[in-house]
Chains A and B, each alone.
Chain A
């Protein structure tokens, strides 16, 4: 095993969300804090007003509470399942033309010379 020197490896899984770490602790403690909401909002490039932050913090907490009712089910002996549906659907390696450039760029807010355009992202 390579476990001992994993420091350099690809980022190791810490749980599906960073904030889920907190959810494993006491039921009484709020799992979603305003800081969590602010962090997630920043990652999603959303800017929230103070009021929105308060509302979303409470709502997210309620969603987790609701989802937690599932935790009360006895799942002894049941394999974890992350996906519904049957595996094994694969595609042949045969190319087909996609969309034409003109109609692709027609949906872009800004385009020129065949390219999508965004505000310059490196200085």
Chain B
């Protein structure tokens, strides 16, 4: 039996990702049809996006502005002149028989996205970002005639897209996952795209090859399509790496081809039909003049950018003193970062705010599958609760129950504490009375403790807490117990 892990470790995967993101414009890229998802099919179409003869495309200024924001947010250089090109192929989702894209001269080049690495960051280089139009949506299932026909909805045709292409800098499926999470967060923060992979507003193709560790030349790559969630991207890449290594180990050769990810079967499958269609015969789009952007336009796009996730993450670590991992989780979504920051500032206790958001707020939202916008505990309410703990009114343990009640009732922490009489007992004499009672009733445990088994203290703490329904101040309990047992 050969050791698969050892074999796998002798190979280095080389991965590049191509991400398509739909831009959040009100109109399509070359016509005034609404850019809207989920309406009746073929109701947002016109002669331009249907490719009817005689129609001419006119570029949307807002699409360019959003593409520039994406480029600046990924530290790319914006080209003051870029050129649209026709990518020619026949497929029923493409009414013109060509897609208007950019080829030799894209809008932006040479940037990077930072991903977490150890305790710092690693840069995944972005080679280019170009603007293009989306194709229509094909429907293969769900109709009485689906056996022999496919339906087409052209509402999506002409929706503005950017394609973001990385250098082959990614080495593991985990890094691919990190890159996509970071890129998505960046695009959502910058309000360029809504970043929803399940609905197709963010799509990813992966180029994967493997080479023996230490070799400089790249192996033959395959392109994997049909990756509709970040998790599936990582799974598909992991599967494809194993497939290629096994193929090479058994004496075979990797064939350059496009493969489709089948999530149900958990494998990639060759998509032979598209192989010969890779001759796209690009040429400059004669219907569109070169796109010129002046430095002022670029500057105003730069000024319109909010603080980006990587910068915010860095600031959270430095300013609030929270761990890098926590800062990463908290900044993946702008709403979560805003929530945390409000509670951190108002409570003056960023570490507590971070812990509550990370372990309780996010967990409960996930359990309830609600968005943060429907969170029953506002940052202000969370702040009140953190202050009750910090002021010694309730213990951290009781606070967990209070939080649950805040979640289910929406009531403020103070009211719950008052109604349920959860206020912490900080009266030393009251605690001493309880301690005296327990110590008196358990001479055997007292002997164990006094014979040097200091761990028995925990048993006594537990008894006192039980007797006081968890309301005794733990620090005080410890202190008074020691005094009673040692003295």
Contacts and interface: CB of A to CB of B under 8 A. Distances in A.
Contacts of B58: 89-91
B27 A94 contact: yes
B59 interface: yes
A8 B61 contact: no
Interface in A1-31: 1-2, 5-11, 13, 16-18
A122 B150 contact: yes
Q: Which of B35, B49, B289 has most A Cβ within 10 Å? A: B289
Contact of B278 (A11, A87, A117): A11
Interface string B26-51: 11000111110000111111110110
Contact of A120 (B44, B83, B146, B279): B146
A117 B145 contact: yes
A73 interface: no
7 contacts: A5-B167, A8-B167, A13-B103, A90-B60, A92-B61, A101-B42, A101-B43
A32 to B, nearest CB: 14
A94 B289 contact: no
A34 B177 CA distance: 48
Interface of B: 14, 16, 18, 25-27, 31-35, 40-47, 49-50, 58-64, 83, 88-92, 103-104, 110, 125, 127-128, 138-140, 143, 145-154, 163, 165-168, 207, 209, 218, 221, 276-284, 286, 288-292
B314 to A, nearest CB: 25
Interface string A35-65: 0000100111100000000000000000000
A67 interface: no
A16 B221 contact: no
Nearest to B217: A7
B56 to A, nearest CB: 10
Contacts of B286: 83
Nearest to A123: B273
Interface of A: 1-2, 5-11, 13, 16-18, 39, 42-45, 82-83, 85-101, 104-105, 110, 112-122
Interface of B is mostly: loop
Contacts of A98: 31-33, 43-46, 49
A10 B106 CA distance: 11
Given A2-B127, A82-B284, A95-B27, A116 B42 contact: yes
A89 B289 contact: yes
B92 A121 contact: yes
Contacts of A114: 40-43, 153
Contacts of B207: 8
Interface of A is mostly: loop
A7 B209 CA distance: 10
A93 B25 contact: yes
Nearest to B106: A10
A95 B32 contact: yes
A7 B276 CA distance: 19
B281 A43 contact: yes
Contacts of B16: 8-9
**6 nearest A-B residue pairs (beta carbon):** A115-B151, A98-B46, A8-B16, A93-B62, A8-B168, A90-B61
Given A89-B58, A90-B64, A119-B150, A11 B280 contact: yes
Nearest to B273: A122
Contacts of B46: 98-99
A99 B45 contact: yes
A40 to B, nearest CB: 8
Given A6-B127, A104-B42, 6 more contacts: A9-B16, A13-B103, A82-B290, A105-B42, A115-B152, A118-B152
